[in-house]
Amino acid sequence: MLLVIDDMPSNIETLYEICKEDYEVCMATSGQQALEFCQTRQPHLILLDVEMPEMDGHEVCRRLKSDLLTDNIPVIFVTANNDPLEEARALDEGVTDFITKPFHARVVLARVRTQLTLKYQTDLLRTLALTDGLTGVANRRHFDTTLQNEWRRCARARHSLALILIDVDFFKRYNDHYGHQAGDDCLQCIASALRAMLNRSHDLIARYGGEEFVYILPDTSLEGAEKKACEMEAAVRALAIPHEKSDVAEFVTISVGVAACIPARGEDAADLLGCADRQLYAAKQAGRGQIKSLQFVADGKPTS
């Protein structure tokens, strides 16, 4: 998907005609409109006019590159200015390439194709760097980044954000009894079952550490997160992985802590994570193999 940003409809129409056969082309006629678009849909490439009223291309690019949600989107400047100093300035701001006016269709398509290929390769490397090697779900680094992004997004939209923290019951006993290879196989099976329950592209499951997993559920109420947690707990039991050393059941089970809140600007996402962690601790103290949950108010005051 390409996003063309230009205050001149004729320029947008020209670029649309050039690219429409190969790409989904979206458009914005101002910098502010483009920034708002990118908060809800992230294009794979942006074609950005430099000379625009109110907010020029340089300012739009700076704002895109300062936001973790959009800083990885490559930006091609569309300009009639061939001044080397302007080109150097744009490169310093994070622009990846230039398309000069008047447009030449083959040149436009070649530059677009090149930048999309580079983005695909970069995204692939980033995915590998953000994936847990054993279970194939997101790793802790990916979780930390995503949590901060979703916290800010939900704070802007005043939407609820939910976390589900999961711990495999008596996993050390499992490892000691069945061996570490069996332990790895167990974690892989659980991760696969939990990942299969992702229903939306913006939900995330990550390995939090050791035998712990965590779900990020944006735009989800506590009630919705509790329902999802119940489904997860049942799905792991349904795997029927034998666990002779468990005090909960003859099969592997999980304990689950759930927390949700409407994020507040200036507050910290770590508070919501801490609330979910306390609920997980409560579930384990209550006998494991169960779920505890709490609605959290993002001013530091939990509510029951």
**Which residues carry out catalysis?**
211
2 touches 37 (CB < 8 A):
no
For residue 99, is it left (φ>0), alpha (ψ between -120 and 50) or beta? Answer: beta
90 touches 65 (CB < 8 A):
no
How crowded is the C-beta side of 50, counted as CA atoms within 13 Å? 20
117 touches 97 (CB < 8 A):
no
The rounded distance, in Å, linking the Cα atoms of 39 and 43 is 10
Name the residue type at position 250. E
Question: What does the angle CA 109 – CA 111 – CA 117 come to, to the nearest 5 degrees?
Answer: 100
218 touches 159 (CB < 8 A):
yes
The rounded distance, in Å, linking the Cα atoms of 261 and 134 is 31
